[in-house]
Amino acid sequence: MAEFNYRFASILNVKEILERKIKEEISFITKAIADIKAERKFVIEERIKTQREMMEHSLKVSEFQSVKMYDSLLERQIHLLEKKIEQWEQKKEEKQLELIERKKEVKSFETLRDNQYEDFLIEERRGELKEMNEIAIRNYNGVHK
């Protein structure tokens, strides 16, 4: 029996590698988002703590201004982190759309491979039947001479 050789095997391999690469990128982006969210949570907690301290303690004007500036800094930092999260989420969405396309490409090449394999098996069976018929004819002719 001959060996099946898929014509587009190298293309399928490249498509699968690209699909894995995109999955890795999505994983990296997801981790980056989680890290930024953790940082944002920490900054929010720090800001709440700072605001609580401003309310609970009677501060001098200079101390109050200093704490207020720190609070404004934390607020800006939270805003920047939220923008970063949005940007990463957008990248993740783009990569997920790209992954869908890659999966479609891989699936189509796998379907093509399966169809070609079916055709290969049919041709193999045809060849085997032809050989068996030739053997049977030779045996029949050899017996009836």
* pLDDT digits 0-9 by tens, 92-108: 999 999 999 999 999 99
**pLDDT tens-digit profile of 44-93?**
999 999 888 888 877 788 888 888 899 999 999 999 999 999 999 999 99
What is the per-residue pLDDT for 106? 96
> Domain residues of the chain, as ranges?
9-143
Are the C-beta atoms of residues 36 and 88 closer than 8 Å to each other? yes
How many angstroms separate the CA atoms of 17 and 55, rounded?
A: 57
**Confidence (pLDDT) at 19:** 97
Q: Which CATH number fits domain 9-143: 1.10.3470, 1.10.30, 1.10.287, 3.40.50?
A: 1.10.287
Entry pTM: 0.77
Percent of the chain clearing pLDDT 70 (strictly above): 98
Q: What is the pLDDT of residue 1?
A: 64
Rg of the chain over CA atoms, in angstroms?
34
> What's the whole-number average pLDDT of the chain?
92
Whether residue 19 contacts residue 96, with contact meaning beta carbons closer than 8 Å, is answered with no
Q: For residue 145, is pLDDT > 70?
A: no
Task: Give the Cα separation of 4 and 26 in Å (integer).
Answer: 35
